[in-house]
Copies of this chain bind each other. A is one copy, B any other.
């Protein structure tokens, strides 16, 4: 399970994970996105920076959120007709209450995820692995990104270099050289994925739409070359990886500035949406080295047909040979469920005692088994099964 920075809700995936012949194999059995109740979302946003909070509030919210995660797990299983007794393990990322990827003054490099794993284990009766990022931070890493572990395990190829692209609020990429070892993997944030597009759509539709469904608005607009240049001149794109970005750089303020710039250039609303979509596509294409002619996309942006079309054009314009652009679904990883699947896999690896961070991507000093195992009230037979499983 995963809860993104947007505080919208919880992604829950039920996954069959195994390792036939040492090679990780994953099969998605069910996937749900369960929205947060309005009050809980307000409480979450209220406790996040820059709002003040307190030990008392965080203490309460950690438990309240744990209940929401447990409900999401139970609901996902119920809707899929899967009995919880058939679920061996829950992996839960929780929600990031604070993230400090590098030390600031007296405050050390640190991260805080909430959504109490002990509550999840108690309500579901299933052992839970939670709190993955702290272990990487303790090892000197930035605690992110964690999904490259999944990319490496499932998408790396012996013969061709592959780029695993995720277009969420932020677009990030994992570069997997041909026949790569974990140490060869690189990952970084490219820049905005849907974040700027979504905000411009909200402005263009006066809040009626939260995002550009299928890229329909962008398809009706015309790309403005001068606005495109303005967008791509953001200094973040010139910074060398590893690098990370977020709402601080590409949030509502930035989108509003883009909108105003568009108005100055006589863009219509759809033209602005088309142009921020084109900028996103171009920035992605610029970030993928030319040697990578296989790009595998996931995240909400993979449903934006206009964005994907523009990305294909931009990638092809750049490469000597054409680029093959697939969704991760085509390779067996549902585009929407990928992050949730990642935490199922990380949990699975954790209980087997296998390091599950990718130090070359996080900056950690060494491989670490991320995650904390909570056995909770699981029945003895279930615990024995899990412990035997670990013995392997």
One of A26-34, A56-64, A216-224, A330-338 contacting the partner: A56-64
A62 — which chain B residues lie within 8 A by C-beta?
A: 110, 112
Which residue of the partner chain, among B64, B66, B391, contacts A138 with CB atoms under 8 Å?
B66
A199 — which chain B residues lie within 8 A by C-beta?
A: none
Q: A372-B373, A380-B353, A390-B391 are contacts. A109–B139 as well, Cβ < 8 Å?
A: no
One of A117-125, A165-173, A250-258, A293-301 contacting the partner: A117-125
A371 — which chain B residues lie within 8 A by C-beta?
A: 374
One of A7-15, A47-55, A277-285 contacting the partner: A47-55
Q: Which of A110-146 contact B (CB under 8 A)?
A: 110-112, 116-119, 121-123, 130-131, 134-135, 137-139
Q: Is the CB of A119 within 8 A of B138?
A: yes
Q: A52-B52, A384-B353 are contacts. A63–B366 as well, Cβ < 8 Å?
A: no
Q: Is the CB of A117 within 8 A of B372?
A: yes
Q: What is the minimal beta-carbon distance from A110 to any residue of chain B, in angstroms?
A: 4
Shortest Cβ distance from A372 into B: residue: B372
Q: Is the CB of A55 within 8 A of B375?
A: no
Q: Provide the bound-state CA to CA distance between A179 and B262, in Å.
A: 81
Which residue of the partner chain, among B52, B56, B112, B116, contacts A134 with CB atoms under 8 Å?
B116
Q: Is the CB of B110 within 8 A of A131?
A: no
Q: What is the minimal beta-carbon distance from A123 to any residue of chain B, in angstroms?
A: 8
Give the size of the chain A interface in residues (CB under 8 angstroms): 65
Any chain B CB within 8 A of the CB of A318? no
Q: What is the minimal beta-carbon distance from A54 to any residue of chain B, in angstroms?
A: 5
Q: Is the CB of A387 within 8 A of B390?
A: yes
Q: Provide the bound-state CA to CA distance between A48 and B373, in Å.
A: 28
A380 — which chain B residues lie within 8 A by C-beta?
A: 353
Q: Provide the bound-state CA to CA distance between A375 and B383, in Å.
A: 17
Q: Provide the bound-state CA to CA distance between A380 and B54, in Å.
A: 39
A119 — which chain B residues lie within 8 A by C-beta?
A: 134, 138
A375 — which chain B residues lie within 8 A by C-beta?
A: 350, 353, 369
Interface centre among A55, A111, A378 (most CB of B within 10 A): A55
Q: Is the CB of B368 within 8 A of A376?
A: yes
Q: Please, could you name 17 A-B residue pairs with CB atoms under 8 Å apart, sorted by A?
A: A47-B55, A48-B55, A52-B54, A55-B58, A56-B107, A59-B97, A59-B98, A59-B99, A66-B138, A119-B134, A131-B372, A353-B386, A368-B376, A369-B374, A369-B378, A371-B374, A388-B391
Given contacts A57-B107, A353-B380, A373-B373, 19 further A-B contacts (CB under 8 A): A47-B55, A52-B54, A53-B53, A55-B97, A59-B110, A59-B112, A67-B108, A118-B138, A118-B372, A119-B138, A121-B138, A130-B372, A353-B383, A353-B384, A368-B376, A369-B378, A371-B374, A372-B374, A390-B390
User: Residues of A at under 8 Å CB distance from B?
Assistant: 47-49, 52-60, 62-64, 66-67, 97-100, 106-112, 116-119, 121-123, 130-131, 134-135, 137-139, 350, 353, 355, 366-369, 371-378, 380, 383-384, 386-388, 390-391
